[in-house]
Amino acid sequence: MGQMRLGVNIDHVATVRQARMTYEPDPIAAAYEVERAGAHQIVMHLREDRRHITDRDFELAMQTVHLPIDLEMATDPQIVAIATKWKPHICTLVPERREELTTEGGLDVAGNLASLKEVVGELLGAGILVSLFIDPQEEQIRASQESGAQAIELHTGEYANAKERSEVARELERLSEAAALASSLGLEVAAGHGLTYQNVTPIVNIMDIEELNIGHSIVSRAIFVGIERAVSDMLALMRR
Ligand code: PXP
């Protein structure tokens, strides 16, 4: 019971800035407002193509933001080197293909266990917590535990995209079962992708999920009401 943890992904503040290659809006200024609003962590994805968050953003966040930083990243060696140099609180490993609009599907941990173990080991060795962004599937959860990661983030994209009521119910069941299994294996359980003010409540009701990471919907609402209010409204929906 109490307040479910909220990580706010500020990538799309940077997306607006990059649309003009200028200095505003500054995602780090957004991070300070997110902190003031009572969120629990700042999430940012340093992509190989630097489409939104840049090295300057990540480095400045590490130097000036007091909330824990969750760095979303691919297993690319250059990004791993940046992570081990700066040591964010946690790294969430995500799949990354250059052509995609956003992260499509979870990481195939089961199919790439040996190489993932190496990256997980390198990050853990630097004193960084590791989370794996995966689809709610038993084999991915078991492989995640085997990889040495302490946490998983369940991909809620299929749930968010589901239209028919039966499809929504099926996706919620999958997420609920996956969260229970992961939790029973001792993994910390987060969830995210595609969550909105309209669809978040059934996810909040899955008690094995301890944290949500939300970006697009909060940044979208912030355009109209400001980011502090957008964050506090989401936090209010996440009280249990
Ligand atoms: N969690 C992960 C691992 C992600 O890759 C993303 C998208 O960057 C999110 C959460 C946030 O998704 P959204 O922007 O749809 O809220």
pTM value surpassing 0.75: yes
Spell out the domains of the chain, with CATH numbers in brackets.
5-234 (3.20.20.70)
pLDDT at 101: 62
Q: Cβ(13)–Cβ(27) under 8 Å?
A: yes
Which pLDDT band holds residue 100 (cuts at 50, 70, 90)?
Answer: low
Closest residue to atom 3 of ligand 1, CA basis: 133
- Give residue 96's pLDDT: 81
Q: Which residue has the tokens 């997306």?
A: 15
Residue 102 has pLDDT above 80, yes or no: no
Instruction: Identify the pLDDT of residue 95.
Output: 93
Residue type, 102: T
pLDDT of residue 39: 98
Ligand 1 center to residue 225 CA distance, Å? Answer: 21
Is the predicted pLDDT of residue 46 greater than 90, yes or no?
A: yes
Residues identified as active-site: 45, 72, 193
Would you list the DSSP string of the chain?
--BPEEEEE-HHHHHHHHHHTSS-S-HHHHHHHHHHTT-SEEEEE--TT-SSS-HHHHHHHHHH--SPEEEEE-S-HHHHHHHHHH--SEEEE----TT-SS--S---TGGGHHHHHHHHHHHHHTT-EEEEEE-S-HHHHHHHHHHT-SEEEEE-HHHHH--SHHHHHHHHHHHHHHHHHHHHTT-EEEEESS--TTT-HHHHT-TT--EEEE-HHHHHHHHHH-HHHHHHHHHHHTB-
- In this prediction, residues 102-130 reach a mean pLDDT of 93
CB of 95 shorter than 6 A to ligand 1: no
Percent of the residues in the chain that have a pLDDT greater than 70, as a whole number: 97
CB 138 within 8 A of CB 180: no
What's the pLDDT band for 104 if we cut at 50, 70, 90? Answer: confident
- pLDDT at residue 99 greater than cutoff 60: no
- Span from the CA of 52 to the centroid of ligand 1 (angstroms): 13
What digits encode the pLDDT tens for the residues 135-183? 999 999 999 999 999 999 999 999 999 999 999 999 999 999 999 999 9
Kindly tell me if the per-residue pLDDT of 41 is higher than 70.
Answer: yes
Q: For 70-98, what is each residue's pLDDT tens digit? A: 999 999 999 999 999 999 999 999 998 75
CA angle, residues 36, 232, 170, in degrees to nearest 5: 135
The rounded Cα 213 to chain-centroid distance in angstroms is 5
